[in-house]
Amino acid sequence: MVTLTIDGKQVTVARTATIYDAAKEAGINIPVLCYAKKLLPYGACRVCLVEVEQMKGRLIPSCTTPVTDGMVVTTDSEEIRKVRKTVLEFLLVNHVVECPVCDKGGECDLQDLTYEYEVVANRFQGEKFDLPTDEVNPLIERNMNRCVLCGKCVRVCDEIVGYGSYSFINRGFETKIATAFDRGLDCEFCGQCVSMCPVGAILPRPFKFKARPWQLKEVDTVCGYCGNGCTVTLGVKANKVETIRFNDKTGVNDGNLCIRGRFGYSYVNSTERLTTPLIRKDGQLVKAGWDEALAAVSKGFKAAGKNLGIITGARLTNEEFYLLKKVAATVGTTNLDHSGGECYKGVTEGLKQTLGVTASTATFPQVEKADAILAIRSDFYETHPVFGMVVNQAVKRNHAKLSIVADKRGKFGKLPDARSLVTKPGLELNVLNGIARVLLDEGLAVTDGVAGLDELKKALAGFAPEQVAAATGVTVDALQQTARELAAAKNSAILLAYGLPYTAYSKELATAAANIAILTGNAGREGSGLYLCGEKANSQGAIDLAVLPGNQGLGAQAMLAAAAAGQVRSLYIVNEDPLVSYPDQGKVEAALAGAEFVVVQDLFLTETAKQADVVLPAASFAEKDGTFTNAERRLQRLHPGITSPGSAKTDQAIFQALLVSLGDKVVYTGTEAIFDALKAGTPYAGIGYADIGLQGAVWGGDHLTVSKQLVPVGGGATVDAPFQLVTGSALYHSGTMSTHASGPNAVISAPYVEFGREDAAALQLVDGDMVQVKGSGCELQLQARVDNRLPQGVLFAPYHFASAGLNRLYKGEASVAVEISK
């Protein structure tokens, strides 16, 4: 610790602090422009200059200068004010002053400082910038005439996002921020640069001319898309979510968001939202009142009794999951499941057997400090982008060694010294087994307190590095290096994502990952963890609260089969569009046709809802109160920013009303009362609703206690065909919900099939060509994209789009053999 004096106040701070940090701690505000908490020190703008007694004769930039013992700092004086004013005058020489029509007005650092330092006239005269604005894309507008060259956009896109859109180009007066070849922006559209820009040079287009910042009501809530659980702060005006506000104080994401969180909110305001219940009459879905609809639903469910099947998505709140379980209990059915059943089932079973848990064993912030990271199957950028940014920082700032075992090359693979262990779909398992084998062979394995060692050794007989290399194409060296790095790491992180499009070998992969966690000493060690990352906002909540088949109950897939066979007579499908998102569309079709009475509860008239007998209009995350549990076991509070359109209700209100009409007598006074009721017998038992503060509450603590049971797993197999197709998530989308949002749709609005360059060249395909993809007895017509991620013979198609009909082809396997024709 270091003690210094700032404006007469004594402050003691960490040795690594800068003068700016120290002042902040002392409650003294130094103005800044180019400084940002989450970026590396830069020191370009000179607005933050201060006087230091020990460094007389010049002013010192406080944002880059480290504190030293006994330093005496003055942050405000005649001299300092004069210099700051001059800095501002210089900035305003070329800056086009158009505050009245600039959307940043009211929260612009330059505007605020100009006001504070009373820069009413300018001693300097010069040419104003006259650069064209970038309005090529629908999400982000760039007006470089307003730029103050603070470099924050350049730095955030590099340091945190790892995309690198921008650079300073040219020299002297001509210096400006531009993309490569000074073209329109074409990137991930995460909007990090928007959130960092201190002036109105980079702005969110959907928000243009919508409101002044002070007219917005700000509501902190949790992103409704993926299991990352980012805090999103809704900017609400007249009951409409107009934008997402920057907020780095609440939650775990440091103000970082992905395109879905930042621009994907628009589905909330969609005019296509359901506003009243619908009931099928004479073959047509017609509008109905809630009383009529609820009466029909409870009558139908009662008639079905134990033959009712309930399938939900994983974007309900914990409180809603609890009420849904009560609906099941009241009707008397144990057929209850979430998320397609298969996708979480395998991974949780695998982890249960080995580590004895069904959740991530540590929390996200620890990944930043990891020395070695192993990412399995998914480039986390596609499924959990903001977690991907954490990994970015671990690698770029702290030089963590990153290895990726996957069927394609992704963004992770471009990080400094990252090692991509790319193999054919299905063989990732063999690679993991190979790594485990190296750990054992080289005596690197931790074996203390570990059970099942002999069995594992036996099972790995066929996985010597040379054998694995021959089978998978991953080199012996890569297997060895990965194993050695993981074993040597003091802190390591093993990342495993799951979701509807990643169902194959899930149990085996989770088991193999857990084996590695145990053998490397990762399991149970402080600072290390295995991260189980669910696809949806409350995937972890669904597991924690056991939204699972009860005694003799059927899982999702079994329910569908039983419905097709007429045994499950009624289906209640909540918050999910299985016709589009579940593997094997035919199976879902047969189930919907076979069930006598189908109720769908959703925001939109989805493909599945169109087949229903009753449709109940539900609410989005932006209208809800309650809790989500993210992928690191963190419970976080949602807060409603707007009310639902028409007579749509939150799932919580719908379940409550349904319970009443089913004859359940218990009425809860509010969300907190439901939370208190649901806790018993769950991991949430020790958590009070009020304890869930700004940073949420992590159940089980930062480190979960785990068991260390090694479990043998065999290898996987891959399809032997010239072309095989894998499905998965595309960065810009999440499930099917984001396809209703104009933000993500602005970037990717239609299904496609992606080819690697070699395949594209061999097939003479270019971007945009239409191709026929034939396999599993059906044929799809898709647009081709060419990129450099896929190895030869492997194609990728994202699973989000209804129109693609992808799940007629994909039935849950690791990959499907396909034929391609133009």
Contacted by 414, from ligand SF4, ligand FES, another protein, none: CB < 5 to 8 Å by type: another protein
Report how far residue 183's alpha carbon sits from residue 132's, in angstroms, rounded to the nearest whole number.
11
Comparing C-alpha atoms, which of 14, 45, 51, 11 is closest to residue 28? 11
Other C-beta atoms closer than 10 Å to the C-beta of 101 total 8
Report whether 147 contacts 204 (CB < 8 A). Answer: no
Report how far residue 59's alpha carbon sits from residue 432's, in angstroms, rounded to the nearest whole number.
56
Report whether 168 contacts 119 (CB < 8 A). Answer: no
Q: Which range of residues in 28-36, 92-100, 103-111, 516-524 is near ligand FES by CB under 6 A?
A: 28-36
| 192 binds ligand SF4 per the rule CB under 6 A | yes
Taking the complex as a whole, the smallest distance from the CB of residue 499 to another protein amounts, in Å, to: 23
Taking the complex as a whole, the smallest distance from the CB of residue 10 to ligand FES amounts, in Å, to: 23
| 199 binds ligand FES per the rule CB under 6 A | no
| 39 binds ligand FES per the rule CB under 6 A | no
| 472 binds another protein per the rule CB under 8 A | no
Report how far residue 174's alpha carbon sits from residue 152's, in angstroms, rounded to the nearest whole number.
19
| 168 binds another protein per the rule CB under 8 A | yes
| 496 binds ligand SF4 per the rule CB under 6 A | no
Comparing C-alpha atoms, which of 118, 7, 119, 117 is closest to residue 62? 7
Comparing C-alpha atoms, which of 537, 497, 536, 258 is closest to residue 378? 497
| 179 binds another protein per the rule CB under 8 A | yes
Contacted by 202, from another protein, ligand SF4, ligand FES, none: CB < 5 to 8 Å by type: ligand SF4
Taking the complex as a whole, the smallest distance from the CB of residue 20 to ligand FES amounts, in Å, to: 7
Binding residue for ligand FES (CB under 6 A) from 4, 22, 23, 32? 32
Binding residue for ligand FES (CB under 6 A) from 28, 48, 598, 765? 48
**Residues 136-155: x/- map of binding to ligand SF4 (CB under 6 A)?**
----x------xxxxxxx--
| 63 binds ligand FES per the rule CB under 6 A | yes
| 44 binds ligand FES per the rule CB under 6 A | yes
Report whether 533 contacts 387 (CB < 8 A). Answer: yes
In the complex with another protein, the residue whose CB is nearer, 29 or 170, is: 170
DSSP-derived 3-state class of residue 55: helix
Residue 804's identity, in one-letter code, is A
Q: How far is CA 792 from CA 77, 158, 648, 730, in A?
A: 66, 30, 48, 20
Comparing C-alpha atoms, which of 642, 732, 537 is closest to residue 139? 732
DSSP-derived 3-state class of residue 113: helix
| 45 binds ligand FES per the rule CB under 6 A | yes
Buried b (16+ CB within 10 A) or exposed e, 695-731: ebbbbbeebbebbbbbbbbebbebbeeebbbbbbbbb
| Residues recorded for the chain | 822
Contacted by 61, from ligand SF4, ligand FES, another protein, none: CB < 5 to 8 Å by type: ligand FES
Residues in 213-232 that interact with ligand SF4 by CB under 6 A = 223, 225-226, 228-230
Taking the complex as a whole, the smallest distance from the CB of residue 191 to ligand SF4 amounts, in Å, to: 5
Contacted by 771, from ligand SF4, ligand FES, another protein, none: CB < 5 to 8 Å by type: none
The residue of the chain with the least Cβ separation from ligand SF4 equals: 261
Report how far residue 770's alpha carbon sits from residue 767's, in angstroms, rounded to the nearest whole number.
9
**Residues 131-150: x/- map of binding to another protein (CB under 8 A)?**
--------------------
| 785 binds another protein per the rule CB under 8 A | yes
In the complex with ligand FES, the residue whose CB is nearer, 32 or 376, is: 32
Planar angle of CA 242, 243, 248, nearest 5 degrees:
150
Binding residue for ligand FES (CB under 6 A) from 2, 3, 46, 464? 46
In the complex with ligand SF4, the residue whose CB is nearer, 95 or 679, is: 95
Give the residue ranges of DSSP H helices in 27-159: 78-94, 109-116, 152-155
Taking the complex as a whole, the smallest distance from the CB of residue 147 to another protein amounts, in Å, to: 15
Report how far residue 167's alpha carbon sits from residue 287's, in angstroms, rounded to the nearest whole number.
54
Taking the complex as a whole, the smallest distance from the CB of residue 54 to ligand FES amounts, in Å, to: 19
User: Alpha carbon 409 to chain centroid distance?
Assistant: 19
What are the tokens at 122? 């300018």
Residues in 115-134 that interact with ligand SF4 by CB under 6 A = none
**Residue 699, C-beta contacts closer than 8 angstroms, at least 6 positions apart:** 544, 629, 633, 635, 683, 684, 686, 687
What are the tokens at 681? 């017998």
Residue 5 β-bridge partners: 10, 72
| 592 binds ligand SF4 per the rule CB under 6 A | no
Residue 735's identity, in one-letter code, is G
| 158 binds another protein per the rule CB under 8 A | yes
Taking the complex as a whole, the smallest distance from the CB of residue 795 to another protein amounts, in Å, to: 15
In the complex with another protein, the residue whose CB is nearer, 127 or 417, is: 417
Contacted by 45, from ligand SF4, another protein, ligand FES, none: CB < 5 to 8 Å by type: ligand FES
Report how far residue 178's alpha carbon sits from residue 186's, in angstroms, rounded to the nearest whole number.
12
| 410 binds ligand SF4 per the rule CB under 6 A | no
Residues in 765-784 that interact with another protein by CB under 8 A = 766-768
In the complex with ligand FES, the residue whose CB is nearer, 44 or 303, is: 44
Q: Which range of residues in 112-120, 252-260, 524-532, 701-709 is near ligand SF4 by CB under 6 A?
A: 252-260
| 635 binds ligand SF4 per the rule CB under 6 A | no
What are the tokens at 558? 């079994």
Q: How far is CA 316 from CA 338, 566, 619, 703, in A?
A: 10, 28, 10, 26
Q: Give the 3-state secondary structure percentages of the chain, helix then strand then coil, rounded to 5.
A: 35, 20, 45
| 156 binds ligand FES per the rule CB under 6 A | no
Rama region for 757: left / alpha / beta (φ>0; ψ in -120 to 50; rest): alpha
What is the total count of residues that contact ligand SF4 (CB under 6 A)? Answer: 42
Matching residue, tokens 């299905």: 426
In the complex with ligand SF4, the residue whose CB is nearer, 178 or 804, is: 178
Taking the complex as a whole, the smallest distance from the CB of residue 11 to ligand FES amounts, in Å, to: 18
Q: How far is CA 625 from CA 354, 578, 634, 638, 639, in A?
A: 36, 26, 16, 5, 5
What is the total count of residues that contact another protein (CB under 8 A)? Answer: 26
| 67 binds ligand SF4 per the rule CB under 6 A | no
In the complex with another protein, the residue whose CB is nearer, 140 or 518, is: 140
Q: Which range of residues in 78-86, 185-193, 524-532, 741-749 is near ligand SF4 by CB under 6 A?
A: 185-193
In the complex with ligand FES, the residue whose CB is nearer, 47 or 373, is: 47
In the complex with another protein, the residue whose CB is nearer, 666 or 766, is: 766
Comparing C-alpha atoms, which of 234, 237, 220, 228 is closest to residue 257? 228
Q: How far is CA 516 from CA 26, 353, 498, 510, 616, in A?
A: 46, 14, 18, 10, 46
Report how far residue 795's alpha carbon sits from residue 788's, in angstroms, rounded to the nearest whole number.
11
Taking the complex as a whole, the smallest distance from the CB of residue 154 to ligand SF4 amounts, in Å, to: 6
| 58 binds another protein per the rule CB under 8 A | no
| 33 binds ligand FES per the rule CB under 6 A | yes
Binding residue for ligand SF4 (CB under 6 A) from 4, 187, 328, 795? 187
Report how far residue 637's alpha carbon sits from residue 631's, in angstroms, rounded to the nearest whole number.
15
Q: Which residues bind ligand SF4 (CB under 6 A)?
A: 140, 147-153, 156-157, 161, 163, 165, 177, 185, 187-193, 196-199, 201-202, 223, 225-226, 228-230, 257-258, 260-261, 384-386, 734
Q: Which residues bind another protein (CB under 8 A)?
A: 158, 163-171, 178-182, 186-187, 414, 416, 766-768, 785-788
Q: Which residues bind ligand FES (CB under 6 A)?
A: 32-35, 43-48, 61, 63
